[in-house]
Structure 1
Amino acid sequence: MKAVILAAGYGTRLQRDVRADCSGRHAHLSGLAKPLLPVGSRALISHWVHALTAAACVDAVYVVTNALYRAAFEDWATQFSNVKIVSDGTTTNEGRLGAVACLQLAVTHFQIEDDVMAIGGDTLFKEDFSLTRVTERFRELQAERADVCLVLSYQCQEEETRKYGILEVDGDLRVRCMKEKPLPSETTSRRACPCFYAFSKKSLPLLDVFLEEKKNSPIEEKDAPGIFVSWIISRTPVYVYPISGRFDVGNLPSYIECDRYFTEKLQNFQLYMV
């Protein structure tokens, strides 16, 4: 299996918050890509690389960034032997390709013909999350059907449904529907879907089909990878692996919360996410 970390965002909300922060305590975050933000004792994205390596669930880690941050990511990657970087060539948030196109870029550029673990570069999970257990579940499902995909979900608050993709599942935890940012009244489910997906190699050709279908659509209809997940549900089986929660670094308060957890509360640093 290969890991693709999606890190081509521009962090516009976070950078706006940093510029507006009068305390000066977070000035060192100015100009940093979100995945390279210091979280605890290492960069956010480094937590993923260390865990993926320790769990031995992938044999390569590919990071998709943009032209603005490419040099910073290439400098960061020199500490790892299993990480490769590719840029989507964009320089502004307005010109971004979108996460689905970035995933397709990685598959094409690195000639991936393997299962793919797609991971949001601004996301981390609570300490009970285990890459080993998720991979084992993925393999169990694949033993029954080779084209199966696996996503994560956690219970969000009622008022948070409008912020996330919400999964509706059956009794076997197979996804039957995914609603993008629905009102609480539009679904009884509270299963939020974070940016972490195990895609079977048999499902990867669907990236081309999706992007061809959406080629004339606005970026909002092909940006979030959850939109792709919603689209493939009727084309290949997708199952849920439940988790307890996540850290989604979108703005300065969410970054501070995440950093505080890793600085003050993380119990087993060496085995985190393994």
Structure 2
Amino acid sequence: MKAVILAAGYGTRLQRDIDSDRSGHFQHLAGVAKPLLPVGRCALISHWASVLTRTGCVDGIFVVTNALHHEAFQTWAQEFPNVRVLSDGTRANEDRLGALACLQLTIGHFSLDDHLIVIGGDTLFKEDFSLLKFMGRFSELQAECGDSSLVLTYRCKDEETSKYGILEVDHDLRATCMLEKPRPSETQSRKACPCFYLLSRTCLPLLPEFLHEKKAAPIEERDAPGIFLSWLITRKPVYVFEVAGRFDVGNLSSYTECDQYFRSKIHTNENYLK
């Protein structure tokens, strides 16, 4: 099994917040890629690299970033011998390839042909999440059907449905559809779906098919991983694994909330996420 961490975004909202902050407390974060931001005792992305390494769940971790931050990620990766870093070749947000194109670039560049954990580089979960339990559930599903994939969900507030992709599921916790930022009145589901997927290896050939279908569409219609997930649900079985909640580092407020939580509650990386 392999893991791909998507880290090619430019964090434009966060950087605007840092530039406009008058306190001066966050200027040292200017120009830092979101996955490399310090969260608690280490960089955000190090939480993932550490648990993936400690549990032995994967035999390779691949980080796709942009050319602007490539050197910084290469320096960071020296701490993790099983991590390989790839640049998408872009240097500005306006030229970005999009998360899904970056995922396909990574799969093709490293000739990946295995079950694949896909992780958003700006996402962390609360301490109830266990990678080993998640992997155990995936193994159960694979024993029943080799095409099965598994994704995370958490319950969001009514007023938050319009911010996220919302999964509707059946009684077996199989996803039946994904609604992109629906109004609360459009669905009874409150199952928000962050970018943490375990895709069956049989799903990987479908990604270039999806990208080909969307090649003429605006990047907003082919960028977010949830768009592919919505498309995939109609073609392959996708099940959900529920967790208490997540941290999504999008702006300065959400970053400080995440950092403070980890400083106060996650005192060691040894068991976090394991």
TM-score under structure 2 length normalisation: 0.99
**Deviation, structure 1 residue 268:** 5.0
Instruction: Name the residue aligned to 1:90.
Output: 90
Does 2:39 align with 1:39?
yes
Match of 1:264 in 2: 264
1:267 deviates by 5.2
Matches within 5 A, 1:188-267: 188-266=188-266
Q: Percent identity?
A: 64
1:59-110 residue CA offsets vs partner (Å, 9 max, x unmatched): 1100000011001101111111000000111111111111111111111011
In 1, the alpha carbon distance for the partners of 2:100 and 2:147 equals 19
Partners of 2:208 and 2:194 in 1: CA distance = 23
How far apart, in 2, do the equivalents of 1:24 and 1:179 lie? 40
- The size of the alignment, in residue pairs, is 274
Q: Quote how far apart the aligned CAs of 1:213 are.
A: 0.3
Answering whether residue 184 of structure 2 is matched by residue 174 of structure 1, we say: no
How far the C-alpha of 1:55 sits from its partner, in A, is 1.4
Mapping of 1:97-176 within 5 angstroms? 97-176=97-176
CA distance in 2, matches of 1:268, 1:34: 21
Give, in whole Å, the separation in 2 of the partners of 1:25 and 1:268: 25
Runs of 5+ in structure 2 lacking a partner? none
Superposition TM-score, scaled by structure 1 size: 0.99
Amino acid at match of 1:224: A
Mapped to 2, the partners of 1:14 and 1:161 lie a distance apart of 22
Across the aligned residues of Structure 1 and Structure 2, the Cα RMSD in angstroms comes to: 0.7
AA at the equivalent of 1:56: G
Consecutive aligned runs of 4 or more in structure 1 exceeding 2 Å deviation: none
Equivalent AA in structure 2 for residue 172 of structure 1: D
Distance 1:90 1:162 in 2: 30
Give, in whole Å, the separation in 2 of the partners of 1:262 and 1:55.
21
Structure 1 unaligned blocks of 5 or more: none
Deviations 1:184-231 (A, max 9, x none): 111110000001000011110000100000010000001100100000
- Which secondary structure does the structure 1 equivalent of 2:61 belong to? strand
In the other structure, the counterpart of 1:27 is: 27
